[in-house]
Amino acid sequence: MKTQTYQLTLFTLLFTLVFGIQSCEQKQNEETKEVEKEIVVEPEKPEYFSLRPEVEKAYGYSHAVKIGNAIKVSGAVSMDNEGNPTAIGDLGQQMKNCYADLEKILKHYGCTFDDVVVENIFTTNMPLFLENAAYRSEIYKNHFPTGSWLGVKELAIPEFMIEIELEVHKSE
């Protein structure tokens, strides 16, 4: 009788163990399938923005493109709505005009300069830019973005002395 009880107990223990392992494996497979479903991401459609549509069309670019939380902003230069250079010969004023246009683009997307993560500045006169660079402290009040300052031989139109491009991360 002891042997039968021992065998029955052993059989019950093995049955419970096998059933438990199968149950765990099944549950793990279901969790894996559930996780796989969460990984599927729909592609984001780009959203284009033109600050000066006719000028941008003539030169063949969009001033900004937003994909997901990322916004790429083309270089802003000092120009009027017809594409004519403004503040000719005055790099400091050209810089202010660039930031004024960039602010309009940021506002369109519900952003501020606090959302800028990269700022690249191209200038035809680096020493003069360095004399005016402190103005950026009025733009970036909380922190400065990453970026580069590049001295270049020329920009698209000879009167342009500075061009500023941005990359923005829009927090949700």
| Model-wide pTM > 0.85 | no
Cβ-based neighbours of 122, under 8 Å, separated by 6 or more: 75, 150, 152, 155, 162, 163, 164, 165
Quote the number of domains for the chain: 2
Residues 147, 91 share a domain: yes
Residues 20, 80 share a domain: no
Residue 29 has pLDDT above 70, yes or no: no
Q: What is the pLDDT of residues 53-93, one digit of tens each?
A: 999 999 999 999 999 999 999 999 999 999 999 999 999 99
Instruction: Show the domain range for 115.
Output: 47-169
